[in-house]
């Protein structure tokens, strides 16, 4: 298989896989935060901050894949 062809196939798949992982992580985070908010609405501000930080960490994985794609994009074809 040609290197550009492999890259052109692999990069989108890689981003998709990373997005699946991030999506699962963000989903779990959101679920936990929602449940905690429903149980204890008074801790909402503190919880929101922690939730957003967690979102940042989870989302970063997809962003790494995206940045990798951006750096390798020029080598396709």
Nearest approach, Cβ of residue 65 and another protein (Å): 9
Task: Specify the residue for token string 């935060």.
Answer: 33
Nearest approach, Cβ of residue 51 and another protein (Å): 11
Of residues 1 and 60, the one with the C-beta less far from another protein? 60
Backbone dihedral region of 2: left (phi > 0), alpha (psi from -120 to 50 degrees) or beta?
beta
49 binds another protein (CB under 8 A): yes
Q: Helices 44-72 & 3-39, crossing angle to 10 degrees?
A: 180
Residue choice 70, 75, 76, 77 for contact with another protein (CB under 8 A): 70
User: 13 is written with which tokens?
Assistant: 């798949």
Torsion of CA 35, 36, 40, 45, to 10 degrees: -120
60 binds another protein (CB under 8 A): yes
Residues interacting with another protein, by CB under 8 A? 45-46, 49, 52-53, 55-56, 59-60, 63-64, 66-67, 70, 73
């Amino acid at each position: 298989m040609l290197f550009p062809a492999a890259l052109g196939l692999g990069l989108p798949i890689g981003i998709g896989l990373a997005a699946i992982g991030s999506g699962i992580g963000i989903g779990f985070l959101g679920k936990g935060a929602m449940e905690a908010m429903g149980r204890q609405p008074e801790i909402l501000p503190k919880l929101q901050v922690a939730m957003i930080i967690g979102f940042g960490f989870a989302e970063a994985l997809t962003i790494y894949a995206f940045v990798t794609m951006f750096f390798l994009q020029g080598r396709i074809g």
